[in-house]
Amino acid sequence: MRIGISAQGPSLDSKIAERFGTSEYLLIFDSETGKFEAIRNPGASSLSHSGIQAVIAVISKKPDVLLTGYLSPTAEKHLTANGIRVVRGTNGSAHEAIEMFMQILIKKNTVSGNAPTPALEVHRNHTFIHSLESSLRQFLGALPVIMSVILLLGLLQTFPDKGFIASFFSGSELWSTLKGAIAGSIFAGNPITSYIIGGEILAQGGSLLSVTAFLVAWVTVGLVQLPAEMDALGTRFALIRNGLTFISSLLIAGVTVAAYRYILGWYS
């Protein structure tokens, strides 16, 4: 049996996260081998739609059950629709939650007359190799983000000149905002990288309105992951969500820049 756990850290000694969508890690424990995998929850650092990203991450790992604190009815609906049993209200550490769940499962199997599930032995003190493997997985998980920042900054500083950047992210406010949102939707990425890329575009002459739309779309729309989202949550839901977040990126950009200009004028 594969058991998923939303946790605050990458080990089985970590506490169960109170909220599924914003949990720092998702642990996948294999009861047959005693091994586990720790993956960073892609929704933990997101400004919005954290629950959806966490749902997609769990479904991709195909656990039989998910142990968590609180999760929304919508998230639970998508998980159960994909054959994942959800156990809410779980607390304590990950290994304590696993032990308790397995004990309950064994009792139920015994009462029903089924063959009892073999007892698990969850080691409280992990070996150096397990810690090393966990650290390596974390580094490899962060490596694409680091490389993407380096690559994008290199592309911005080497290939397009300042005139091209300024012309693409400037012009009429409506048109530049639309172009910024489209670019952000295509080149979806991590919120941390968005600040670096946005600052570079501003330094090369991009308008504040278009860059703001770019940043909001960058972290909310995500056309790159659209096929996976359609497969996990349904085509209609994925298309509607991405369409609404694209429109929202334009509206949020306008409101944010208007508020910024008002506050700047009020202080000056």
Domains of the chain plus CATH, in order, are 2-126 (3.30.420.130), 139-267 (no CATH)
**Mean of pLDDT over the chain:** 77
pLDDT in tens, 86-113: 888 888 888 888 888 888 777 765 555 5
Q: Is the pLDDT of residue 183 over 80?
A: yes
Residue 26 CA to residue 255 CA, distance in Å, equals 35
The 36-40 sheet, strands edge to edge = 36-40, 25-30, 2-7, 65-67, 85-87
What are the strands, taking DSSP E only, across 91-221? none
**Residue % of the chain over a pLDDT of 90:** 6
Q: Is the pLDDT of residue 125 over 60?
A: no
What confidence score (pLDDT) does residue 121 get? Answer: 44
- Answer yes or no: are the C-beta atoms of 246 and 221 closer than 8 Å: yes
What confidence score (pLDDT) does residue 184 get? Answer: 82
What confidence score (pLDDT) does residue 244 get? Answer: 92
What confidence score (pLDDT) does residue 251 get? Answer: 92
Paired tokens of 222: 């995500």
Instruction: Label residue 145 by pLDDT band (50, 70, 90).
Output: low
What confidence score (pLDDT) does residue 173 get? Answer: 79
pLDDT in tens, 70-80: 888 888 888 88
What confidence score (pLDDT) does residue 255 get? Answer: 92
Nearest-10 crossing angle of helices 128-158, 191-203: 20
Q: What is the 8-class DSSP label of residue 8?
A: S
Q: What is the pTM of this model?
A: 0.46
Q: For residue 201, which amino acid is it?
A: I
What confidence score (pLDDT) does residue 231 get? Answer: 72
Helix (H) or strand (E) holding 102: helix 94-112
pLDDT in tens, 242-266: 899 899 989 998 899 889 888 887 8
